[in-house]
Structure formats: C-alpha cells, structure tokens
Chain A
Amino acid sequence: MMRNDPIKHVFIWPAVLVVLAISIFPLIYSFTTSFLSYRLIPPIPPRVVWFGNYLSLLQEPRFWNAIFTTTLIAFIAVGLQYTIGFGVALALNARVPGERLFRVALLLPMLLAPVAVALVARMIFNPTMGPLNQLLAKFGLVNLPFLTNGHWALACIIAVEVWQWTPFVVLMMLAGLQTLPEDVYEAAELENASAWQQFWGITFPMLLPISAAVVFIRLIESYKIMDTVFVMTGGGPGVDTETLTLFAYQEGFKKFNLGYTSALSFLFLIAITIIGVTYLALLRPHLEKRR
C-alpha cells in the first residue's frame, strides 16, 4: 500500500541532492571539458576543439590496447568466476561434507582491499622467493616470469580477480538455489532423471535470471578494474596490462591533460553502456521464454 504524505519529500531529497551534487555536477563539468583542449602541465588555456579529443583518442593505438586488455580481463575472469562459483554453490547447497567450515572462508576475499590482495599476489607470484614457483619447481618448471611477461602478467591479474570475486558468485547463486521449489525435483526423481539431467533441465534454467544479473554486475564491475593492476604491474610490462581506468589515470595525473582525459572517460561510459544494453538485449529472449 502506498501512502501520499508531503513528508515523503523530506525522506527522499537528502539522498537525491547528494547524488545530484556528487555525480551529476561533475558529469556535466567533465562533459563540457571533454570538448576543450585543456592542459595544466604545461599550462594551456582552455580552447574549444569540439570532437578533437574524441577523434585523436579513437586514432590512438594505446586506447584500443587498453580497451582490448580490459575486455579480455573482464570476459575471461567473469567466465571463470561464474563457472567455479556456480559449481561451488551447487556443492554447498547439496550439503557437501565440510560445508560449514567453507562458509566462513566464503565471504573473506570479497571484503578485502584489492590493493592489499594485489600486494599479497605480488609476493606469491614472485619468481625467486614466492611459494608458487617453489611448488612449480617440484614439477620441473623453473622461474616462470609471472609479472614480467605480458601474457603471464595478464593471466596473473585474471587469477587474482577470480580469487577475489568468485565468492560473490557463490553467495548469489547459493541464495538463488535456496529459493528453488522442492516438488519439481521430486517429480524429476520419480521419472528417474539423472543428476545431470536435473541440472540442465531444472536448476540451470530456473536460475537463469539470477545468473544473468550476477554476470551483469560482475562484468560492469570488472570493466572498472584499476587497483589490482595498479599495484601488481602498474600497467606493464610496457602497456601490456594497461586497463582503461589506468590509462585515464596516466593521462590525467601524469600529464594533466584534462580535456583528453574527460573525453576518454566519456568514451568509457559509452562503451559500458553499449556493453550493458547489448548484453540485456541478447539475454532478453531467453529470460522471457522461461517465464
């Protein structure tokens, strides 16, 4: 039941005002800046260049490299998170032995500061003093260049992302699994459906809406990745692991190229919106079919 009472404005306006002030103010501000050529170091007074910043960005190979790297990290990491996370959630839901112990460890990684996690990862991936290489040496592999080779560094960053955010998938999928109706499974069992058939026929389709939401959230969040990369590789070697946010940071804070950075962040915003809309459009027919 909805009430209508003038006091509702007192309830909602503080939050709206804060969001308007801190999110929309700067948005308009940087939107106008993105059409200017504007540098602080060396100081160049603002000059209107219209789409100049956008055009030079689109011709910049480093920008495309950053987009490619970010996309690669996001898609592989989210794919792995979803697969592992769903599996673990299924096992926990089925009361696998030791489930209790596991639940405590479950929440931990996602609450830790990505910066600290990245530092720990640096230690573990260290080629001479890290435990990982010692373990690999036992299998006859020696001193892999974990963070100094572009491909390996990318793989390490993805590993850290998976480590940190799989728990989120587990948590959400577990909550989803607990809402499934019991009787459908009883009926399936009467018909002698195997565990695998039950999963493909019942569990997976029924959890599709939640899966879609989880993957969506993680994909959007992964695109913003910065802290982990900043600490683990700093975007290096070269620009092999430079993500979009890191690229923007370098342009904005190393060169203080304000117009250019504003244009970059808007292109980023557009890219995120396109990915989000495409994702939802691709998924919609599947979701509606199940209803």
Chain B
Amino acid sequence: MSGRSLTGLSPWGRRLVAAGCLVWCLITVFPLYWVVVTAFKTPPGVVGGPTYLPFIDFTPTLQPFIDLVQGIRGEFFRTFLNSTIVGISAAAIATAIGAMAAYALVRFEFKVRFGAGLIFFLLALGGYLLFNNTLGFTRPQALLLAFPIALVAAIVANRLSLPGPILGNEDILFWFVSQRMFPPIVTAFALYLLYSEIGRLGFQLIDSYVGLTLCYVAFSLPIVVWLMRDFFEAVPIEVEEAAMVDNVPSWRIFLGIVVPMSMNGLLATFMITLAFVWNEFLFALFLTNSRWQTLPILVAGQNSQRGDEWWATSAAALVAIVPMMIMAGLLSRMMRSGLLLGAIK
C-alpha cells in the first residue's frame, strides 16, 4: 500500500480533497435517493414540485408498488421472473463453461495454426454462399451445413504442417476477449435475422427462453474467461502437481481441487455476469417481444406509454435497481479482499 500521494499536502489541502470527495459522493447518491422517495409519493406529491423528505414534505404511500404488482402497467411480475430465470441460468452456464475454458487456457498448451483459422473462415463463408445461392438451400440451412464442414476441415488442417504463424494460448484468449469489442448491434441485428429465419423452419428462437439464454451466454463469455483466468493463475500449482503425481485425472483435479480453491472468484464472476445480463437492453429489445420480455424493456416502456407518471416510473426503476444494489453491497465486501486486483493485470 502506498498511501502517500496526499501526505505532502497541507491540512487545508487535505480538507479540500475530502470535501471534493464528499461532493462526488453526494452526486453519486442523490439520484438514488430521489428514485426511492419518488416511488413512495402520491400523484399530488409529485406534481406540486420537488419534495424531499417523507412525512414532512409529503405523505408516503405504497400505491405505486401495489399498482405494479397488480400488473396495471404491464405484466410486471412475469417480466421480473423472466429476468431472474434468464439472468441466473445464463450467468451460471456462462460461468461454468467460461471457467472451464479459462482453466484450459491457463494450464494446457494450445496451438492453432493461423492457416487453419483462415480455412475455417473461408470455408464457412464460401460454403454458405455455395449452399445458399447455387444449390438453393434456405439461409439457415446453408449456414448449418457450411459450419460443421468448415469446422472439421479446420481441425484436420490444424494437424497438417501448414506454413504461416502458429497461435498460442495468449492469442486464443485475445480472440475470446475481442468478442467484447464488437458493437453488439452487429450481432444483435444479425442474430435477429438468423433467429427469425430459423423460426420459419419451425424452431422458435425469437422470444424464447433458449434463444435469449444462448445469446446471453455467448455475450458474457469474454468477461468470464478474462476474469477467471486471473483467479486460476493465482491457484498454487504445487497442489495440482501433487495430485498429478498420484495420477488423478485432470477433470478431477479441476472439479475437486481448483474449483473449490477459487470459489470466491467464481462467485464474483457469477455476480458480475448476472449484473450484465440483468441490465442488458439491446439484445432483449431485439430478441423478445411479449412472452420473454425482460425488466429493462418494461422499465424503458414506462417512459413512452405514460410520460409523466413518475411515481409509477420510479417504482419500476426501483425494482430493477434493488437487486443490483444488494449485489453491489456483496461485491464491495469482496472487493476489500483484493479481489479486483487480479483483473487489471
């Protein structure tokens, strides 16, 4: 710890800095306070101008929440349930398979030939165009045919001694993380097209649990792999080596030793992923319409339908926010134990 940057300051300087922090803290907290008090106001309490203190400025009421639960402003309960189900399952699946991939990248050696990757891409694109344009398959059929062929060809090509650079673990990691750099609109819109065409073949993915969860798993994987890699690197290698001497298979080393030892990291990663999925707006906007609508879409809808009913708007916003406030409390406790130190290396 180097707590030195302020030691050179005079007492007055220190006070000034502390005041600055306090101001920023107030700016951070005030909007949250505002949404909490507004959610308990009656319509007259809002329209009459800003009021700040319950029981003094205005009489608090639970009416906005009662309206919300009764579903007067959209199917609130169901939407909340949707968000919870999709959020928890997507975060759990993403954490599980992302952690596996991160572990593999930390402990095993991978070699991918650049040529093999190129072959995959060219075959996938070319095969798709061939099946779709020349042979007259529908677009999803063409994709579903072209991809396995490209994948198998790439795996075979990887065994041959192709010229060109060989990519290692770091490059694979970069490939994972770079998925986050994409503007999501590229994926979201294309996913909408793909899902709707697959839907025409009889397998509904738009506005379905599978479609939405799958999309969120893929969307969260880069973060999971990035975070979990650091946690696994922190696990002492000696324990694993001792187990290997005893001929314990790798999957049992992973499940029996590594996972329990990095439980904190897994939990934190799960919570961060859950927060991302819970708040996600764009994919939900594209991929759902009624049955599997999530909370952010409902909250955004409060705005356009009922312009100035702030008490209702606040109540909805509050319900969307509260689970994440609890999460922030839990995470900030974990943060103190140097949790996020690893993530920036």
A residues at B contact (CB < 8 Å): 1-5, 7-8, 10-12, 14-16, 18-33, 84, 87-88, 90-99, 101-109, 111-117, 119-124, 128-131, 134, 163, 166-167, 171-172, 175-182, 185, 189, 193-196, 198-199, 203, 210, 213, 220, 223-224, 226-227, 230-231, 234, 244-245, 248-249, 252-253, 258, 261-262, 265-266, 268-269, 272-273, 276
Residue pairs across A and B with CB atoms within 8 Å: the count is 338
Q: How far is the CB of B214 from chain A (nearest CB, A)?
A: 6
A261 to B186, CA, bound (A): 9
| In the complex, residue of chain A having the shortest beta-carbon distance to the beta carbon of B151 | A20
Closest to B52 in A: A131
| Complex CA–CA separation, A249 to B9 (angstroms) | 51
Beta-carbon contacts of B216-242 to A below 8 Å, as 1s and 0s? 011101000100000000000100010
A-B pairs with the 9 shortest C-beta distances? A195-B8, A26-B190, A22-B218, A94-B6, A30-B190, A11-B104, A15-B101, A8-B108, A113-B279
- Beta-carbon contact of A18 and B217 below 8 Å: yes
Would you list 13 pairs from A and B whose C-beta atoms are within 8 A, ordered by A residue? A11-B103, A14-B100, A15-B101, A21-B214, A26-B187, A26-B194, A29-B194, A92-B21, A94-B7, A108-B325, A112-B321, A119-B317, A189-B8
Q: How far, in whole Å, are A224 and B329 apart by their CA atoms in the complex? A: 28
The smallest beta-carbon distance between A236 and chain B, in angstroms, is: 12
Query: Chain B contact residues: over half helix, strand or loop, or mixed?
Result: helix
B226-264 near A? 1/0 per residue, CB < 8 Å: 000000000001000100100001110010000000000
State A71–B29 Cα separation when bound (angstroms).
28
Name the residue on A nearest B17 (C-beta).
A91
Chain A residues contacting B281 (CB-CB under 8 Å) are 113-115, 226-227, 230
In the complex, chain B residues whose CB is within 8 Å of the CB of A230: 281, 300
Residues from chain B with Cβ under 8 Å of A245 in the complex: 183-185, 282
Query: Looking at the complex, which one of A20, A21, A25, A269 makes contact with B186 (CB distance below 8 Å)?
Result: A269
Residue B134 lies at the interface, judged by CB distance under 8 Å to chain A: no
Task: Decide if B176 is an interface residue (CB 8 Å cutoff).
Answer: yes
Q: For residue B1, give the distance in angstroms from its CB to the closest CB of chain A.
A: 6
Name, among B2, B21, B191, B194, the residue most crowded by chain A CB atoms within 10 Å (CB to CB). Answer: B2
Chain B residues contacting A22 (CB-CB under 8 Å) are 187, 191, 214-215, 217-219
Residues of A within 8 A of B14 (CB): 96-97
Taking the complex as formed, is B18 at the interface, i.e. its CB lies under 8 A from any CB of chain A? yes
Given contacts A101-B25, A103-B332, A129-B50, contact A272 B181 (CB under 8 A): yes
Contacts of A261 in B (CB 8 A): 189
Q: Are B324 and A8 in contact (CB under 8 A)?
A: no
Q: Which of B31-39, B58-66, B159-167 is found at the contact surface with chain A?
A: B31-39
B203 to chain A, nearest CB (A): 14
Q: Which residues of A contact B182 (CB under 8 A)?
A: 23, 269, 272
**Which A residues touch B92, using CB under 8 A?**
none
Q: Name the contact of A96 in the complex, choosing from B1, B6, B46 (C-beta under 8 A).
A: B6
Q: List B117-174 residues whose CB lies under 8 Å from chain A.
A: 124-125, 128-129, 132, 139, 143, 147, 151, 172
B24 in contact (CB, < 8 A): yes
Interface flags, B320-337, vs A, CB<8A=1, else 0: 110011011101100110
CB of B107 closer than 8 Å to a CB of A: yes
> Of the candidates A3, A88, A113, A129, which one forms a contact with B107 in the assembled complex, judged by CB atoms under 8 Å apart?
A3
Residue of B52, B139, B300 contacting most chain A CB atoms (<10 Å): B300
* Inter-chain contacts of B317 with A (CB < 8 A): 116, 119-120
A123-B314 in contact given A172-B344, A195-B7, A245-B183 (Cβ < 8 Å): yes
**A120-B34, A231-B300 as given contacts; A198 in contact with B109, CB under 8 Å:** no
* Cross-chain contact A111 with B190 (CB below 8 angstroms): no
Contacts of B293 in A (CB 8 A): none
CB distance from B24 to the nearest CB of A (A): 6
A18 and B214 contact, CB distance less than 8 A: yes
- Give CA–CA (A159, B49) in the complex, Å: 23
How far does the Cβ of B60 sit from chain A's closest Cβ, in whole Å?
A: 17
A176 surroundings in chain B (CB, below 8 A): 344
Question: Cβ of B13: which chain A residues have Cβ within 8 Å of it?
Answer: 195
Choose from A167, A198, A231 the contact partner of B5 (Cβ within 8 Å). Answer: A198
Is the beta-carbon distance between B190 and A96 smaller than 8 angstroms?
no
> Which residues from chain B contact A108 at a C-beta distance below 8 Å?
28, 32, 325, 328
Q: In the complex, A16 Cα to B343 Cα: how many Å?
A: 22
**Does B2 contact A123, Cβ atoms closer than 8 Å?**
no
- Interface pair A134/B50, CB less than 8 Å apart: yes
Contact across chains for B179 and A19 when beta carbons are under 8 A apart: yes
Contact A98 B179 (CB under 8 A): no
**Known contacts A12-B100, A114-B279, A115-B281, A107 near B28 by CB under 8 Å:** no
Q: Is B98 an interface residue (CB 8 A)?
A: yes
B223 to chain A, nearest CB (A): 11
Q: Which of B108, B186, B193 has the most CB of A within 10 A?
A: B186
